[in-house]
Amino acid sequence: MEKLFCVVMVIILNNLRMEAVTINRTKLQPVSGEKIPLLNLTCPLDRKDIPLNKNWSKRPWTIPTSYPEFVDRALDFKVRYDDIWILGQQKTGTTWMQDMAWLITHNFDFKTSENSHVYERSVNLEYTGVYQPFAGTEAEKKGVSSFAATENMTSPRIIKSHLSPNMLPKELWTKKPKVIYLTRNVKDSAVSLYHMYKGLKYFDGTKEQFLDALMTDSLAYCPYWPHILEFWEMRNESNIFFISYERIKRDLRGSFKEISEFLENPCSDDILDKAVDHLSFQSMKNSKAGQTLQKIMEDIHGTSGEFKFIRRGEIGSHKDELPEGYSEKMDNWSERSLVGSGVAMDDILSFSYK
């Protein structure tokens, strides 16, 4: 009897222990054309540390099946007070912002920025957990760990992440380093993301299938809108700077100035002139750094020369790229997603602190 009790207790304890470290996950039904299997995850922690103390910590979100083993690695990641975190959904201008933030915090060293690609100077924290063919522990063992690389960077580190608030490091919300949150017209970023997924061979279906997958939360980093809305609500936190791709594109000079003030390194007019020239879309695309990035994509992901990581970079490029009816379909979806938030997409895109 006693022995049976012990065995039962051990089983219960083991299960409890498993419960504590097991992430709530369900495999997603793959949609047509999708090449990367996805999971629907919820955060293993009940997080009271996220600003505003809303009920975001249990929000489920989607990520490739290679990610769960890295959940703790991200949550327990050691943040530094002088880090600068570049956050936002994919294809919202985060790569562009990585370079801006790097320049502002590295003596406006345009020469290095021109000659080395930005991913050598600024790492996407969860890269090894998400993007093929680097994803998973096998890749980790080979020493290509984005987590180790981020830990290893010298301060001030410029760190990029597309993770949602509930999956970001706990210390991000206690040490409160500076955070720049990027957002962009969802129709433009969706088109851009489609081209990236096609180029990287993560998706081989039609554009319609891709957009439907995005609107039904069947792609990585979905649901799409809550990510934006949660940071929108946190935009007044003193360590958070919220800005849209559209605002930067329309006023690169003014935006760069504002960001340099936020990062407590204001710059002269002379530097501003150089920055505008250096960060213009064509310069980025044609720079040695841009070309290197392109080459890396081709080498690593086997993308063809037709795939351009830095592609059009325009505002409103969805207009000639969305399939018939999809502009309205996506507007309806955005409207539905924004119900109850008291905000419209245009308010978010034109938002400025000034």
Ligand X SMILES: *[C@@H]1O[C@H](CO)[C@@H](O)[C@H](O)[C@H]1NC(C)=O
Closest CA to 250 of 351, 353, 179: 351
3-state secondary structure 242-282: EEEHHHHHHCHHHHHHHHHHHCCCCCCHHHHHHHHHHHCHH
Which lies closer to ligand X via its Cβ, residue 307 or residue 333?
333
* Neighbour tally for 20: CB within 10 Å: 8
Least distance (Å) from ligand X to the CB of residue 251?
A: 21
The residue among 35 and 58 lying less far from ligand X, judged by its C-beta, is: 58
| Complex with ligand X: residue 34 or 217, whichever CB lies closer | 217
In the complex with ligand X, the residue whose CB is nearer, 40 or 283, is: 40
Cβ-proximal residues to 232 (8 Å cutoff; 6+ apart), any chain: 183, 242, 341, 343, 348, 351
Q: How far is the CB of 48 from ligand X (least distance, A)?
A: 15
Minimal distance, residue 37 CB to ligand X, in Å: 13
**Angstrom distance (rounded) from CA 195 to CA 352:** 30
| Nearest distance in Å: CB 294, ligand X | 23
* Cβ at position 233, least distance to ligand X in Å: 5
Which tokens sit at 136? 């998973």
User: Smaller CB distance to ligand X: residue 24 or 53?
Assistant: 24
Q: Which is nearer to ligand X, 244 or 287 (CB)?
A: 244
Q: Where are the beta strands (DSSP E) in 158-274?
A: 158-161, 178-183, 240-244
301: three-class secondary structure by DSSP: helix
- Helix H segments across 76-170? 94-105, 110-115, 118-121, 127-130, 137-141, 146-152
Least distance from C-beta 339 to ligand X, angstroms?
10
User: Rounded to 5 degrees, what are φ and ψ at 181?
Assistant: -105, 125
**49 or 233: whose CB is closer to ligand X?**
233
242, 273, 237: which is closest to 259 by C-alpha?
242
Q: Which residues of 144-174 are buried (b: 16+ CB within 10 A; e: fewer)?
A: ebbbebbeeeeebbbbbbbbbbbbbbbbbbe
Site residues (CB under 6 A) for ligand X?
24, 28, 40, 42, 55, 58-60, 148-149, 152, 217-218, 233, 236, 325, 328-329, 332
CA separation for the pair 12, 337 (Å, rounded): 41
Nearer to ligand X, 27 or 288 (CB): 27
Q: Please, what is the minimum distance in Å from the beta carbon of residue 66 to ligand X?
A: 18
Nearer to ligand X, 6 or 13 (CB): 13
Q: How far apart are the first and last CA of the chain?
A: 73
The CB-of-80 to ligand X minimum distance in angstroms stands at: 15
Tracing tokens 């050598």 back to the chain, one arrives at 120
Place of tokens 């760069």: 256
Q: Shortest gap between Cβ of 31 and ligand X (angstroms)?
A: 9
